[in-house]
A = this chain, B = another copy of it.
Amino acid sequence: MKAPVAVNGYGTIGKRVAEAIRQMPDLELKGIVKYTPDYSVLVAYRQGIPIYVPKGKEGVFEEVGVKPSGTVDELFGSVSLVVDASPGGKGAQNKRVYVERGLSALFEGGESPDVAEVSFSTLCNYRQALGKKYIRVVSCNTTALLRLICLLDRHIGVRKARAVIVRRASDPKEDKGIVNTVKLDPPSIPSHHAIDVKTVLPDLDIETVALIVPTTLMHVHVVHIQTKRSTSIDEVVETLSSTPRIVVLEGAKIGIDSTSKIVEFARDLGRKRYDIYENVVWRDMIKVNGDELTIVQAVHQEAIVIPENIDAIRAALRLAESAEETMRVTDKVLNVGLQR
Restricting to A228-261, which residues have a CB under 8 Å from any CB of B?
251-252, 257-261
Which residues of chain B are within 8 angstroms of A207 by Cβ–Cβ distance?
Answer: 287, 294
A280 CB to nearest B CB, Å: 12
In the bound complex, what is the Cα–Cα distance between A150 and B311 (angstroms)?
50
Which residues of chain B are within 8 angstroms of A298 by Cβ–Cβ distance?
Answer: 182
In the bound complex, what is the Cα–Cα distance between A187 and B296 (angstroms)?
10
- Indicate if A189 sits at the interface (CB-CB under 8 A): yes
A213 CB to nearest B CB, Å: 4
Restricting to A171-209, which residues have a CB under 8 Å from any CB of B?
178, 180-184, 186-190, 207, 209
Restricting to A99-133, which residues have a CB under 8 Å from any CB of B?
none
- Cβ contact of A222, chosen from B178, B209, B217, cutoff 8 A: B209
In the bound complex, what is the Cα–Cα distance between A246 and B62 (angstroms)?
63
Contacts A222-B209, A252-B188; is A215 near B181 (CB within 8 Å)? yes
- Cβ contact of A285, chosen from B182, B183, B189, cutoff 8 A: B189
Chain B residue nearest to A294 (CB atoms) is B189
Q: B182 touching A166 by the CB < 8 A rule? A: yes
The residue in A187, A216, A252, A259 that gathers the most chain B C-beta atoms within 10 A of its C-beta is A187
Binding site for B on A (CB under 8 A): 162, 164, 166, 178, 180-184, 186-190, 207, 209, 211, 213-218, 220, 222, 224, 251-252, 257-261, 282, 284-285, 287, 294, 296, 298
- New contact pairs (15) apart from A181-B258, A183-B259, A209-B296, CB-CB < 8 Å: A162-B224, A164-B164, A178-B260, A180-B260, A181-B215, A182-B217, A183-B258, A183-B260, A184-B285, A187-B282, A188-B284, A189-B294, A209-B222, A211-B222, A214-B215
